[in-house]
Amino acid sequence: MGRAPTQDHLVVFYLPDQQEWQAAIDQMNAIGYEFVKSYNPYWDISGVTFEDPDGYRIVLQNATWQA
């Protein structure tokens, strides 16, 4: 099994609706994932980070994506 090259290899899902964001977090917890502290503290301000078994991370961000 491989490992992510760094803790900053991640995918960010922007979920601006508070209820949708919380439901996504609840679903991640329900299947056994726990929060991890983000490598970049920016993602901890309005988001929650999870790590898969290979070390790749996803962030569920309670915000709208800004280009």
Q: What is the pLDDT of residues 12-65, one digit of tens each?
A: 999 999 999 999 999 999 999 999 999 999 999 999 999 988 889 999 999 998
pTM of the model: 0.89
The answer to whether the beta carbons of residues 50 and 57 sit under 8 Å apart is yes
The 8-class DSSP code of residue 55 comes to: S
**66 found inside a domain:** no
**25 found inside a domain:** yes
Q: What is the CATH number of the domain that holds 16?
A: 3.10.180.10
Identify which of 12, 26, 17, 8 has the alpha carbon closest to the alpha carbon of residue 62.
Answer: 17
**52 found inside a domain:** yes
- The residue range of the domain holding 45 is 10-61
Q: Total domain count for the chain?
A: 1
**48 found inside a domain:** yes
